[in-house]
Amino acid sequence: MLGLNKKDTSLLIIVALLTLLAPFILNPFPEGSAMAQFNAGYPDLMQRFVIFGIFAIGFNILFGLTGYLSFGHAAFLGVGSYSAVWMFKLLSYNVIPAIALSVVVAGLFSLLIGFVSLRRSGIYFSILTLAFAQMSFALAYSVLSNPKFNLTNGETGLQVYADDPQILQGANAPDLPHLFGLPMRATYTMDVGAWSFDFNAGYYLCAVIMMVVFYLAIRIFRSPFGMMLRAVKSNQQRMNYTGLNSKPYTLAAFVISGMYAGLAGGLMAAMDPLAGAERMQWTASGEVVLMTILGGTGTLIGPVLGAGFIKYFENIFSKINDNVLHSWFAFLPDGLEDAVVFLIHPFIGKGWHLTLGILFMLVVIYLPGGLVEGGQRLLNWFKRKKTGADDAPSGKTEPAE
């Protein structure tokens, strides 16, 4: 189907079902229950899941296939956001032109940075991309906020004002980002017993776009172009000795990855029409690296899982505080309850980064393939248990790789 083999088609269908049914899957607990705080099915967070999933998918095309580790992809995320907001200011609140411009501008910007950075490889490439990202952050934060040519509005952030031209904004069009009249904030809430499910227009726009770019990522991974990128990662020097010039392939991968990041930035602005320089900081670049490694570098669905995992920790796990812990362990004697809360306190709330760091360390040490490898091991264990393979070892010898 759609030029994919059976395995990739199944994977695409699974991603589509998980994405479209997210309002149900992410709200497993009844409203008002003690466990309802673990529900993640509200529009803002669901949008972040898919937007950062797009960001991580694009980053994985570069890092997962070529092995080139960029520490500056947040620059393209920020450029995409600024481009989208400028489109809102000049033309209209329709999100389609804004998203299209964010992809084009991010692609041109990544072409420029990639042309320079890819003259080096390894740690030197990583440092170059980090330097470009920090220079972009400095430009957006101060230089380009000069009153004479204010392109970014500095630390306040770029936003739409009532006196902006918006030359194509119709009189009856919503005064906020919309898709041909459908506001991105439009939400239908369905109550089923004690459960509540939100269906948000902005989320489903992001979800459909993520499924499209996920499909494109599959095609890239399975294409001859993807094979060339894997050859670069395997042994670029040997590849060059054969007479093949790897630079055009790595530059193309860098630009495609940058366009994915720009798309993510444009969608962020489409959901909330505000662009700030903080989206270009090195911490945002480091976050997408963590997402990709945590999910599984070089895998198709891994970056999406990693993005969802980190954003869940950031938005849900970080809200657990001492009062919540006391309510959980109220059945214990007072002294023991206080001791348990005291031991757990450093790992929740503002200390959620500590828990995430420990989990990341465990994944890197014991699951180098990320969450995808963990899922594969678990699946293989269930298969062996079902077939009784552990009790009946075969005499077949597999060659070492």
The pLDDT score that the predictor gives to residue 130 is: 94
Please indicate, yes or no, if residue 382 is contained in any of the structural domains: no
Asked whether the predicted pLDDT for residue 201 surpasses 70, the reply is: yes
Please indicate, yes or no, if residue 355 is contained in any of the structural domains: no
Please indicate, yes or no, if residue 356 is contained in any of the structural domains: no
Q: pLDDT by residue (tens digit) across 177-199? A: 999 989 999 999 999 888 999 99
pTM: 0.91
Q: pLDDT by residue (tens digit) across 266-285? A: 999 999 999 998 889 888 89
Cross-strand pairs, 179: 182
The pLDDT score that the predictor gives to residue 353 is: 86
What CA–CA distance (Å, rounded) separates 358 from 163? Answer: 49
Q: How many domains does the chain have?
A: 1
Mean residue pLDDT of the chain comes to 89
Cross-strand pairs, 178: 94, 183
Please indicate, yes or no, if residue 397 is contained in any of the structural domains: no
Asked whether the predicted pLDDT for residue 221 surpasses 80, the reply is: yes
Please indicate, yes or no, if residue 400 is contained in any of the structural domains: no
The pLDDT score that the predictor gives to residue 397 is: 46
Asked whether the predicted pLDDT for residue 400 surpasses 50, the reply is: no
Please indicate, yes or no, if residue 331 is contained in any of the structural domains: no
Please indicate, yes or no, if residue 334 is contained in any of the structural domains: no
What CA–CA distance (Å, rounded) separates 310 from 239? Answer: 36
Please indicate, yes or no, if residue 214 is contained in any of the structural domains: yes
* 61-70, 292-301, 312-321: the lowest-pLDDT one: 312-321
In DSSP notation, 89-141 reads HHT-SBHHHHHHHHHHHHHHHHHHHHHHHTTS-HHHHHHHHHHHHHHHHHHHH
The pLDDT score that the predictor gives to residue 389 is: 52
Q: What is the CATH number of the domain that holds 112?
A: 1.10.3470
In DSSP notation, 322-379 reads HHHHHHHTTTS-HHHHHHHHHHHGGGSGGGHHHHHHHHHHHHHHH-TTHHHHHHHHHH
Res. 381 pLDDT band, cuts 50 70 90: confident
**Residue 132: domain span:** 6-315
